[in-house]
């Protein structure tokens, strides 16, 4: 073919393609109103809430899979797929009955054997599940709608374990899917919840789409977080992943998306000025900032060195670095539990209160025997929260007279390196920064970061038997008063030993267009009850 002919053919093909395209379908206004476009906090890179326990996976999964029980906005556990339960007088045998009419997305009924398989897959991945597994004697389906769980010792927090918002949530999947090993990813996404996951429209890193499941039978009670009637008011929920906050902000202002889960604080004034956009706190349970000091390596294998850092640190410095001048977004936190929740305690929190005493901290550090060895401080620069806190810590340690080895890296590297128990200088580390969702810190149930069982503990491997004793007492506490008493003690011993350093409590905003209604505050975005005009 000659060049000219080739060009003519190419141009003609382009024009034809274009004409065909111009005749393409357009989204009607009605259809647009039935589609909710949402910008999530992160990319939905996988879709197995047991295998991958990232919050974004949990948030998407909550639409697709239902739970036996669900925590409501008062942090009380309510029945969800469960119609009712009986517990034997010795507290060892639980019998749970399913609601009638429950269906999976393939229209197969939800049976007790599906629940048994789902519980079995969930247990190894969840701290409370692991405790249950350790004391489990029998877990069987008695009939299609009834299962029996026999334990070797009472576990009063069982219903909370099955209904909590902490990841991994105990989602109910069909038996054939739930038989997959807990450490192997599933590839079949048939759910039990109010929305179906449209796998063929999933473009990881860009888009995930969920469609209303007409066969879902909601409860009659009003929706409240994971509990109550999960009534979906739109046909589709589209997640549009936008790595750049400025783009997400512009898209929201331009009406190209309807709801943005986590706008950054810098952009909030711009969004607030737009009369088409509503801005409010996203999650009243917020987050707890933290850095963890390594109990295995000097200098933080010495209690006095850890206490010196705690004594010198200013939570206000950390929080200002995170949220700027917006005083609505942070609180000092002289403790480890989420503020404004029933178990919140400041017992033992004096070391974090009042004016900071750098001289006393230096003296304490000297008493610890610190002699200028390097303090390897891991800081993920690709996470704004850890980057900000890392900068404050580096300055703090220098003012204390420590020899800071500031390792500026990315989260993937921190994730790998923090697991290394080697000495500093051989790949090991002294401290790293992170944060915990406030929902995970309302009690010790799923609070890995507070555990202090040495080798079995979270990174940093604190070994404080008194902390473990208090956690065990909480699990056995019969009522709220007893729980409060135990939590006060736990807070004190954990702070005395500096299980980790809390840098403060902070909140985040969410923003949505005013033609969207029903957005609620919560530890995750709840899509039921949200409509669009």
Residues in the site for other proteins, rule: CB under 8 A?
3, 17-24, 43, 45-46, 48, 51-55, 125, 166-167, 181, 183-187, 203-207, 240-244, 246-248, 250-251, 253-254, 256, 382, 409-413, 415-419, 434, 436, 440, 446, 448-449, 456, 458-459
Shortest reach from residue 320's CB to other proteins, in Å = 24
Smallest distance from other proteins to CB 311, Å: 27
Other C-beta atoms closer than 10 Å to the C-beta of 340 total: 12
- H helices of 145-266, in order, are 158-163, 175-178, 245-253
* Phi, psi torsion values for 510, nearest 5 degrees: -130, 160
Q: How far is CA 532 from the centre of its chain?
A: 26
Give the Cα separation of 233 and 249 in Å (integer).
25
Q: Which is nearer to other proteins, 41 or 53 (CB)?
A: 53
**With respect to other proteins, which residue has the nearer C-beta, 11 or 140?**
11
Instruction: Return the number of the residue (222 or 456) whose C-beta is nearest other proteins.
Output: 456
In angstroms, the CA 510 to CA 281 distance is 6
CB nearer to other proteins: give 419 or 481: 419
Q: How far is the CB of 237 from other proteins (least distance, A)?
A: 17
Which H or E element spans position 509? strand 509-513
Q: Which of 251, 246, 493 has the alpha carbon at shortest distance from 349?
A: 493
User: Dihedral, CA atoms, 392, 523, 444, 312, nearest 10 degrees?
Assistant: 10
Q: Rounded to the nearest whole angstrom, what is the least distance from the CB of residue 434 to other proteins in the complex?
A: 6
Q: In terms of CB distance, is 86 or 181 closer to other proteins?
A: 181
By C-beta, is 334 or 444 nearer to other proteins?
444
CB of 524 vs other proteins, minimal distance in Å: 14
d(CA 484, CA 486): 5
Q: What residues pair up with 359 in beta bridges, in sequence order? A: none
Which residue has 């039978």 as its token pair? 217
CB 36 within 8 A of CB 234: yes
Written as six digits, the tokens of 388 are: 């900000």
**Measured from the CB atom, is 51 or 213 closer to other proteins?**
51
The least CB distance from residue 391 to other proteins, in Å, is 20
Q: Report the length, in residues, of the chain.
A: 533
Our CB check for other proteins shows the closer of 131 and 242 to be 242
The string over 257-274, giving b where at least 16 C-beta atoms fall within 10 Å of a residue's C-beta and e elsewhere, is: bbbbbbbebebbeebeee
Please identify, using beta-carbon distances, which residue of 47 and 94 lies nearer to other proteins: 47
Least distance (Å) between residue 509 CB and other proteins: 20
- Name the residue among 389, 154, 171, 374 with its Cα closest to residue 288: 389
Minimum CB separation of residue 12 from other proteins in Å reads 14
Separation CA 521–CA 527 (nearest Å):
11
**Per-residue H/E/C for 327-376:** HHHEECCCCCCCCCCCCCCCCCHHHHCCCCCHHHHHHHHHHCCCCCCEEE
Q: Which is nearer to other proteins, 63 or 242 (CB)?
A: 242
State the minimum distance, in angstroms, from the CB of residue 242 to other proteins: 5
Closest approach, Cβ 177 to other proteins, in A, equals 13
Classified as helix, coil or strand, 106 is: coil
């Amino acid at each position: 073919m000659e060049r000219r002919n080739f060009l003519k053919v190419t141009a003609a093909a382009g024009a034809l393609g274009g004409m065909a395209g111009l005749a393409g379908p357009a989204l009607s206004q009605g259809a647009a109103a039935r589609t909710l476009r949402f910008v999530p906090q992160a990319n939905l890179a996988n879709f197995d809430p047991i295998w991958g326990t990232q919050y974004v996976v949990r948030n998407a999964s909550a639409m697709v899979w239902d739970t036996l029980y669900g925590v409501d906005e008062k942090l009380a556990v309510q029945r969800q797929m469960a119609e009712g339960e009986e517990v034997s007088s010795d507290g060892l045998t639980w019998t749970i009955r399913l609601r009638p009419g429950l269906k999976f997305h393939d229209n197969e009924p939800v049976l007790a054997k599906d629940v048994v398989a789902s519980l079995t897959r969930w247990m190894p991945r969840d701290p409370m599940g692991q405790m249950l597994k350790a004391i489990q004697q029998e877990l069987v389906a008695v009939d299609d709608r009834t299962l029996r769980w026999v334990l070797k010792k009472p576990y009063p927090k069982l219903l909370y374990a099955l209904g909590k918002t902490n990841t991994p949530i105990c989602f109910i999947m069909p038996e054939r899917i739930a038989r997959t090993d807990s450490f192997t990813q599933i590839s079949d996404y048939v759910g039990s919840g109010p929305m179906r996951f449209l796998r063929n429209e999933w473009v990881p890193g860009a888009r995930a789409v969920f469609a209303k499941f007409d066969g879902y039978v909601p409860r009659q009670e009003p929706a409240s977080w994971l509990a109550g009637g999960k009534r979906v008011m739109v046909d589709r929920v589209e997640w549009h992943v936008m790595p750049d906050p400025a783009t997400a902000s512009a898209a929201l202002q331009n009406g190209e998306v309807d709801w943005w889960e986590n706008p950054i604080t810098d952009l909030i004034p711009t969004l607030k000025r737009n009369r088409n956009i509503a801005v409010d706190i996203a999650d009243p349970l917020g987050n707890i900032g933290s850095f963890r000091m390594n109990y295995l390596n000097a200098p933080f294998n010495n209690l006095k060195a850890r206490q010196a850092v705690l004594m010198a640190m200013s939570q206000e410095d950390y929080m200002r670095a995170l949220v700027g001048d917006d005083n609505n977004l942070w609180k000092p936190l002289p403790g480890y539990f989420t503020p404004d929740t029933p178990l919140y305690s400041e017992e033992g929190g004096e070391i974090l209160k009042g004016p900071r005493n750098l001289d006393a901290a230096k003296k304490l550090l000297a008493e610890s025997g610190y002699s200028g060895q390097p303090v390897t401080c891991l800081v993920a620069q690709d996470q704004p929260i850890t980057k900000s806190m890392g900068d404050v810590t580096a300055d703090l340690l220098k003012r204390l007279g420590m020899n800071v080895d500031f390792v500026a890296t990315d989260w993937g590297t921190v994730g790998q390196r923090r697991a290394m128990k080697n000495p500093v200088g051989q790949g090991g580390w002294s401290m790293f920064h992170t944060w915990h969702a406030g929902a995970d810190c309302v009690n010790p149930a799923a609070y890995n970061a507070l555990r202090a069982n040495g080798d079995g503990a979270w990174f940093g491997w604190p070994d404080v038997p008194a902390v473990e004793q208090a956690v065990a007492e909480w699990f056995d506490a019969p009522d709220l008063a007893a729980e409060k008493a135990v939590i006060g003690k736990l807070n004190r011993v954990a702070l005395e030993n500096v299980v980790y350093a809390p840098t403060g409590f902070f909140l985040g905003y969410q923003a949505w267009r005013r033609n969207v209604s029903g957005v609620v505050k919560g530890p995750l975005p709840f899509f039921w009850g949200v409509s669009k005009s």
